[in-house]
Amino acid sequence: LNVSQAKEKIIEEFKGESFTQDIIDFLNTSQRGIIGK
């Protein structure tokens, strides 16, 4: 499962939930690399 597929899967599972955007933001941040922080 790559990041895009995981993101789509999470969006499907949480569609309509208020925290979906937070999850997307988290995944986008993770994609850039949290290790570098």
Map residue 33 onto helix, strand or coil: coil
pTM for this prediction? 0.33
Secondary structure letter of residue 35 according to DSSP: G
Task: Report pLDDT for 37.
Answer: 45
Q: How far is CA 8 from CA 3, 13, 19, 25, 36, in A?
A: 9, 9, 15, 13, 25
Q: Angle formed by the axes of helices 20-32 and 3-13, to 10°?
A: 170
| pLDDT tens readout for residues 9-36 | 877 777 666 566 777 788 778 766 555 4
